[in-house]
Structure formats: C-alpha cells, structure tokens
Structure 1
Amino acid sequence: MAKKSRTKARDQRTTTSTPGEVGPRQPCPCGSGRRYKACHGAPGGPVDTYVRRPFEGLPSECDLIALRELVPAGTAPLTLADSLDGSERSVVLCSLLPMAAPAMVRESGEIWLGLQVQHQFGDPARDLGAVLIKALAAAEAGESGVIGLTDAPGEGPRLQDLVTGDTLDVTVHDGFDYWIADVEDKESMAGALDQANEQAHPTARLTRVEAAYWTDVGTKEHLRWVMPEPEDQLLDALARLHAAGKDVIVEGARLVGMFRAHGLLAPVWDLPLGTGAEVLEGPAATFAAALAEALADESPLSTEERAARSGLANRQVTIR
C-alpha cells in the first residue's frame, strides 16, 4: 500500500507542473536528446551547447555530413578565408585520421582535419574551428604531429568563419593509403594500415547528383543520399513518390528508411547484390527530377500518401 501511495504521489508531482513548463525528466526542448535536468535545466545551464544543424552554411553541407557519418575514407581540400593568418596553407578535410585524431600537421606543413572523432562537445563546427586554429599555430611554429582537442573549446570561431567557397571537391578512396602517401617509412605503418583498410567498405560517390553514396557492406549494397530539404517537406515529397511507386531507384531496390544526421535526412535504399555504383547514375538523376516535382507539389497528401509518410517517419534512425 505504501509503495502504491509513493507512486501516486510521484505521478502527481510530475504531472502538476505549470502549463508550458518542461519537466526535469522530459526531453530538453533544445533537441539535444538529453533529459531537461541534464541539459538546459542543469545548474548553470548545459555543459555543451547543442547545435542541431552545425554544418549549415559550409561548402557542400550534405557531402560534409556524409564524410562525417557515412563514408569510411574520403578527403576534400578546404580554402581558408583570406583574412586568416596562414590562409595560403594547404588544408584537407578527411573523413578519418589515424587514431581518430582531430587534426594532424604533416611534415610538409599541410594540415589535415578529421571529421570522425571521439569527442562530442555539442557543436562539431566549433570544434573544427578550434582545432584548425591550433593546427595553424603549430604549423606556423614549424611543428608537426597530432593536434588534439580534449576539452570543450568554449567561445571562438566556427569552421564557417574560417573557410570560403561554395562546394567541396570530394575524393572517395578505396582505403586509407592516403594516410602514408607522403611518408617515407611505410613499412612501419603497414600493419595498422591493413587493419584500417579491412574495416573500410567499398564506397563510391555518384557524379550526377549531390551527396549520394553507394556502398557494399558484404551482405548488402546500399544507396545513402544526404538531402538538404527541410524534413517535413522532404517526407511529404518522398511519401508522394512512394505511394506512386516512383521511389524504386533500380529494379529490386527498396527505400528502407533514413538516417537523421546533423539536422538533415539521408534516405537509404537497399540494392540487389551486384548492382554497383555506375548503374545508379542515370536512375538517380531521374529520381532527383521526380523528387523536385514532388517537392513543388503543395496539394494535401492523399490517404495513401499520408500512410506512406507515416511509414517513412517510423523508419528513421537519428545518428547525431
């Protein structure tokens, strides 16, 4: 009886809050995924400020998200802003660096920035900006090696403040051999490199559409496509195409769901084994045109389209 009374009292405490007030155990309204008491409801506010769409405004935002979340081995050169000291220095954005390092200054003075890192401080664009500033300072001092980021960087420039340009020139590699392309003693790193390469699934970027990547994970092939449209409009458009049977990229393919990463959606298709990347080029371009038409359609969804939308919304997995 006492246990039931305590449960009832606890339920009353959690339900009798001021209208509009967020309970301590409810999700924080900022979208961080944490409970309110561990985020903006914590004493002094959140430890790390969560940014829902951290890469907005950066060149090729969708490709950058793919490099961070989907592509095992990829690189893209960055162009530093003219106002930045050392703006003529070569900087390369990398999907992954050895030991998941945030950055490296090479012996040549070139700077590599890593996207797939172990730290999570709430705003990866701010983290990238902080580690780039540290790497530039080290390079100017003639130092080389790994540049770490062990603590939240605090206030400072974000990557958007430090680079310029409209697009990224992405190169997808077969493995991580680019790590040692400028290293003379390659034999000493051969074992670690082989181990890393074994974990890299074959991946290719389609050329006729933006931010669409084919991959072969052994038991299946997938097409994963990061799209820039707002989530609600994109779900409506995908639902229209699904209900009309127009979301089958190639015969035997199936739209199975989507990732949500850094504020954008990435629809995922299962593909028949043996499909490969080249055969997807034309069908992907055709699908992109159909999607643009569906996005422009502002009519209410039909009953079948609403059911399709509900099914798609239930097949989402949030990565970040």
Structure 2
Amino acid sequence: MGKGAGAKQARRARRSAAGDAGINPRQACPCGSGKRYKACHGAPGGVTEVAVARPFEGLAGECELVALREFVPSATVQLKLASDPKRPVTLGTVLPLASAGLVRGDGDEAAFIGLQVQTRSLDISRDIARAILWTQDANPGDVLSVVSQDDEHTERLQDILDVDAPFEPEIHDNFNWWLAPDAEPTGDVALSLERANEAIMPTKRVGDAAYWTLAGDKAYLRWVRPEPEEELMAALARLSAAGGLTLGEGSKYAGSFRAHGLLVPVWDLDNEMHAREWEQPVAELGARLTEALVDKPLTSEERRARDGLIGRQVTIR
C-alpha cells in the first residue's frame, strides 16, 4: 500500500472516530486546549480518549452544573460528599486567576474548587472530582492552578458526591466570596477581583436551572432542561404551534443551544422588567411544557414548528 493510500485511511479513521464521539474535527477540541479537535485529541497518535457527552449525568444537580459551568458568572454551592470529608468543599463558578482549586490560609482553611476552568481531559466530571480530592490533602494557602492528569485518581463526581443531594446555588452580585471574612485582597488576587467584579453581568435564578441575565441593553432567559433532546424539541414544537412558547408580553423565543449533552432554550426579554417579574411566567411555562411532554406523533403544523426550532440550534460544548 502506498503512503498516499495509508494517509487517506488514517484520515478516514480519524473522521470516523470523531463522528462516533459526536465531535466535528474542525471544531474546537472539547479538552479546552483552544486547538481544533483534529490537531489535538483527534490527531494521529494523539490521545484516544472519547469525550463524555453528558459529564454530569446521574447527578441531581446536572442542569444547575451545566448552567454554572457555561453562563452563570458568580455562584457558589456547598457540595455534599458521599463520605465524611476532611474539610467541607464549596464549588464556585470562577476562582481567583481561574484556579481549579484552593484552600484559604490565615486560619480559615475553607476549600473551594472552580467549575469554569480549562480542562485537560475530555471528562469534566473526572477533572472536577480530582480537584475536590486535592483539597482534602492540600495545606492552607495552597492553590491548584490546573488539574493534573498524572495521578491515580479515576473517580468522577458521580463517585464522590451524594448524587441525590439537593443542589441549589447561591447567586452573587460580585466575587467578594473569594475572600475570607474581613480579609483584604493584595497583589494578583486584588487585580483579578477588581477585573472580575467590573466584568460581571447581573444574573438571577428565576427557576430550577433557569437564569435571567442582563447583558448591556439586552436581557435573556437561559433554561437548562433535563429532558432528552428529541422529546424536548417535540414538546417545544407543540407549544410553538399552539402559541404557547412564550413567557408573556415582553418576551420572544430566540432559539436554543446544546451544552454538555443538554438542550438550553433561550428567550429574549424586556430589559426594563426586573428579574423577579419573570419567576411566575417561568413557572407557568414549565407547567405547559410538562403537559406537552407526551408520547404521541406531531401534527403537520407541529412538525413545521419543530423544523423551524431546529434551525435555530447551535452547540457550544
């Protein structure tokens, strides 16, 4: 066999593997390297690990974890570990200098892990679990910049968390929770805190995994849904065909995106309305959506509505 034929076979094999993993070879590699998949984990002789499509599947907080990972700027939640920890662990959206983990010093010794971090593997669940395990043996003042892939830990979040524990994040207007009570930031931490607080977008939780965000002169609602995509799209289509895919006056369905295996519908909102004014409309839409999740064929009108909704989908992870 000639070199040209061998190269073609290798390219076909890589394309096949990428397709099996649900990854476009020309898209950014899910590992967070910034390279295209074909030049990173999809490269010849590269890492053969397959991306985990739903890294948080099986956890009661799956939808909230997706939201905190992708678009909630500042939030914390106390994690409930399956076994008694040496020290409690708080999950935060972003830590100082985008660190993966830290243990406060100055006698505080509170442990934090970051969710919005660069990952080196294709399983975010495993990387975050490694950061949690790191906090248990770290010394006060230690910082974990990037999760190491060269250790013996293979546990995932599903292995070390109480999978059924309630998961209700606390949403913050700033990142001052980075600091211990009465502590004053200095050096790089002070600069990072200042920049983070200046860039934060007002965000409020208006329902389970439903978040209102004000971005400049525009407001949005992003709602991470737990249903399988095909079932959810059918339900959304039924509502759309019936004129019920709305949050009421001042709202418009904008489309949806996929993140970590789940679908996230998005609505444009009246930016002059307060976040709490959307809580009741979200609850009412949720009830209509539950009723629309039925196992029956779509009508011709509903199929047309579904086709239109699918045309407004994108994938970010």
Which stretch has the larger CA shift, 276-285 or 63-72?
Answer: 276-285
Map of 1:1-320 to 2, 5 A cutoff?
24-25=14-15, 27-34=18-25, 46-82=47-83, 87-107=85-105, 108-138=108-138, 142-149=139-146, 151-152=148-149, 156-164=154-162, 165-182=164-181, 184-186=183-185, 189-206=189-206, 209-296=207-294, 298-320=295-317
CA shift at 1:153, angstroms?
A: 5.0
Structure 2: unaligned runs, 5 residues or longer: 27-36
Q: Which amino acid aligns with 1:152?
A: Q
Q: What SS does the corresponding residue of 2:293 show, helix, strand or coil?
A: helix
Aligned alpha-carbon RMSD (Å): 2.6
The sequence identity of aligned pairs, in percent, is: 44
TM-score by length of 1: 0.84
Asked if 1 retains the 8 angstrom alpha-carbon contact of 2:247 and 2:282, the reply is yes
Deviations 1:206-259 (A, max 9, x none): 1xx311000100121001100000000000000110111101102131111112
- 1:64-120 Cα deviation digits (max 9, x unpaired): 1101101000000001222x6xx1521101011111111111122221010000234
Structure 1 gaps of 5+ residues are 1-8
Give the superposition deviation at 1:169: 2.5
TM-score, with length taken from structure 2 = 0.85
Judged with a 3 Å threshold, the aligned counterparts in structure 2 of structure 1 residues 186 and 264 are, in CA distance, closer, same or farther, namely same
CA distance in 2, matches of 1:221, 1:268: 10
Q: Distance in 1 between matches of 2:150 and 2:292?
A: 42
Match of 1:4 in 2: none
Give the C-alpha shift of residue 294 in structure 1. 0.5
CA contact (8 A) 2:97 2:192 kept: no
Counterparts of 1:37 and 1:102, CA distance in 2: 26
Q: Conserved in 1, the CA contact under 8 Å of 2:41 and 2:49?
A: no
Which stretches of structure 1, 4 residues or more, deviate above 6 A after TM superposition?
35-41
Q: Contact between 1:38 and 1:46, CA under 8 Å: does it hold in 2?
A: no
**Alpha-carbon distance, 1:43 to partner:** 5.5
CA distance in structure 2 between the partners assigned to 1:198 and 1:115 by the alignment: 20
1:3 alignment partner in structure 2: none
Q: Larger Cα Rg: Structure 1 or Structure 2? A: 1
